[in-house]
């Protein structure tokens, strides 16, 4: 993850072939494999890939901060991998009727709204908004929820335990996902106000 408290530190330029970036790239390569496993009902493999994605998501951010390996490339790869896993998972789970389609609508609507907000600060968009703890916490909750909900699609004690825990994480993730929109809206408003002030001067 990019940050654990407050906002993430500014990314440094360069550092393409760093360990955090390689971990993020591996997460991206795992997306099509995960989708194939999910749609062909190889749930064990799908759960393992999701768990590996969550672990590497944490590790790439921790290594980047601990060993000063943050970079602009990593700052782009990490959220792209997060979004792809969220989209492929919710679409696949909805297709298999593990979750209702309104969950897909809630999550996609949030990202559409955020994209529209970013369009209003086009000059700053390439630099990226600071990654806030709320947004990362929301993503973490959803990445915890998905393998649990996938396990809940089965039968037996494990499925019975996974179902309520998975939905608890899913609800927390969806709520925090939309709370993060408010946080990012404040950041966008600050950028627009600053840009307006610079034009006046």
pLDDT of residue 1: 40
Q: Work out how many domains the chain is built from and give that number.
A: 1
Whether residue 3 is contained in a domain is answered as no
Whether residue 12 is contained in a domain is answered as no
- 41-93 pLDDT tens trace: 898 899 898 888 888 888 887 887 888 777 777 677 777 888 888 888 899 99
Whether residue 181 is contained in a domain is answered as yes
Whether residue 11 is contained in a domain is answered as no
pLDDT of residue 130: 65
What does the block give as tokens for 183? 């946080």
Taking a C-beta distance cutoff of 8 angstroms, is the pair 30, 52 a contact?
Answer: yes
Whether residue 7 is contained in a domain is answered as no
Q: Which residues of the chain have pLDDT under 50?
A: 1-14, 125-126, 200-201
**CATH label of the domain that carries residue 111:** 1.20.120.1760
pLDDT of residue 191: 79
Whole-structure pTM value: 0.75
Whether residue 118 is contained in a domain is answered as yes
Q: Which element (helix H / strand E) includes 66?
A: helix 43-66
Which among 36, 54, 57 is positioned nearest to 45, based on CA atoms? 36
Range of the domain at 115: 19-200
pLDDT of residue 67: 84
């Amino acid at each position: 993850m990019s940050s654990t408290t407050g906002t993430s530190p500014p990314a440094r330029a360069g550092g393409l072939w760093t360990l955090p970036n390689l971990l993020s790239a591996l997460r991206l390569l795992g997306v099509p494999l995960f989708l194939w496993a999910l749609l062909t009902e190889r749930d064990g493999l799908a759960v393992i890939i999701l768990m590996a994605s969550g672990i590497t998501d944490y590790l790439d951010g921790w290594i980047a901060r601990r060993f000063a390996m943050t970079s602009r490339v990593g700052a782009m790869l990490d959220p792209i991998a997060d979004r792809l896993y969220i989209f492929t998972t919710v679409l696949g789970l909805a297709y298999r009727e593990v979750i209702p389609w309104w969950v897909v609508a809630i999550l996609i609507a949030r990202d559409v709204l955020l994209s529209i907000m970013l369009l209003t600060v086009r000059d700053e968009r390439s630099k990226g908004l600071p990654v806030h703890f709320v947004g990362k916490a929301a993503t973490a909750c959803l990445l915890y929820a998905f393998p649990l909900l996938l396990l809940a699609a089965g039968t037996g004690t494990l499925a019975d335990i996974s179902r309520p825990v998975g939905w608890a994480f899913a609800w927390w993730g969806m709520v925090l996902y939309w709370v993060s929109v408010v946080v990012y809206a404040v950041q966008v408003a600050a950028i627009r106000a600053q840009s307006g002030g610079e034009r006046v001067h």
